[in-house]
Amino acid sequence: MAKPTRRELLAGAAAFAGAPVFARSAGPTLLLPKSVPPVAVASANGHQFKNGGERTAIEEAFARLVAGSDPLDAVLAGVALNELDPEDDSVGYGGKPNADGVVQLDASVMHGPRRRAGAVAALEGVRTASAVAKAVADLTDHHLLVGAGAREFARQVGFTIEDDLNTEKSRRQWLEWKRKIDPEHWLDPARRESAAEAARRAMVAEAGVDPEHLWGTIHLSVLSPKGELAGATTTCGLAWKIPGRVGDSAILGAGLWVDGEVGAAGSTGRGEANLYNLSCHLIVEELRRGAHPKDAAIEALRRVRANSLEPRLLNADGNPAFDLKFYAVDRLGRYAGVSLYGIYKGRETRFATATEQGAEIRAMDYLLPECPAG
């Protein structure tokens, strides 16, 4: 074969330069329609509280989606109903305080199209932590502000700062919890934690405290008709927690993860188990590989189960003694709510959805059928 001339080599290079470049794919190519049916997926309390209005969080978010609202604005309008409603003692105003009787809030938000995120942790004095998280995303170069710094930032950008976010109900429950703890618990941290957990369980059994609200949170993710994704997770955290404790809700990749090209996932339940596994990031990466949201969440729960080794966290059968729930939606409009247990503390685990057929509470898929009592 004759050796190519310099002219022929240059001509070939020019042709190659004008050819399309095919990058190595991280997963299967999604053939997306120009429009998709809108979807909103939330924790069950997303279709329970209305703050005196006509719509629940998921109804409000979905209505705004179909009206053309920005997806994150729709999400925040929804979760704000829970944050402002004192009847939902898992988030915002009237949320369960920490061990010192102070309500500290965590929240994160992510906007798929803009690739922006913001979060706050241990925030005091602002009812709508999710809105402050969005302000972090919009007005700073950062993703997470905490404690007094988060509070001062909120004040500087115009949020009303209150001295106390407790309601009569949340303060009464805190006082009852304090009465059940050994007054010398501070002298022995191990004894204190044991007493605190025993008191939490007693409050569930004797005082009618909702067991799901011991780790109270609301998560809401949406897919707009344009195929745009956004999500938020907001919480008061573990009931009567050690002051300064931050769970998974404010941590990107744990309590929330959104990739605008792939999907969104959020969580409620035991934050420490989720933090160790960065489960929501894992779920979205499973979606990227083509998994259905249900299967992606099941894989995350398998990892949580495998990584839960401490005896204090396990039932007699060796499985986790806590629950953890995930909510996921992908760019195709497929969605799922998946729980570690199908029945926890004697209750069927549930989540909320809103589609063009309406809003409803549905039973969750699950990894394990039922958490043993005790």
Q: Are strands 365-370 and 358-363 parallel, antiparallel or unpaired?
A: unpaired
> DSSP letter at 239?
T
Number of Cβ within 10 Å of residue 363's Cβ equals 13
Residues 250/121, Cβ–Cβ less than 8 Å: yes
d(CA 92, CA 106): 9
Positive or negative torsion for Cα 347, 344, 298, 239: positive
Asked about 217 being catalytic, the answer comes back as yes
Distance CA 163, CA 151 (A): 11
Q: CA 329, CA 112: separation in Å to the nearest integer?
A: 12
* Burial class of residue 160 (count of CB atoms within 10 Å of its CB; 0-12, 13-18, 19+): exposed
Beta bridge partners of 6: none
Q: Cβ-count burial of 189 within 10 angstroms (0-12 exposed, 13-18 middle, 19+ buried)?
A: exposed
Sign of CA dihedral 79, 82, 85, 91: negative
Given 140, 160, 167, 217, the catalytic residue: 217
CA angle (238 as vertex; 235, 240 as ends), nearest 5 = 120
CA distances from 90 to 10, 164, 179, 210 (A): 67, 16, 21, 10
Structure tokens at 96: 């369960």
Q: Do 120 and 155 contact (CB within 8 A), yes or no?
A: no
Phi-psi region of 368 (alpha: psi -120 to 50; beta: other; left: phi over 0): beta
| Of 276, 271, 238, the residue nearest 255 (C-alpha) | 271
- Catalytically annotated residues: 217
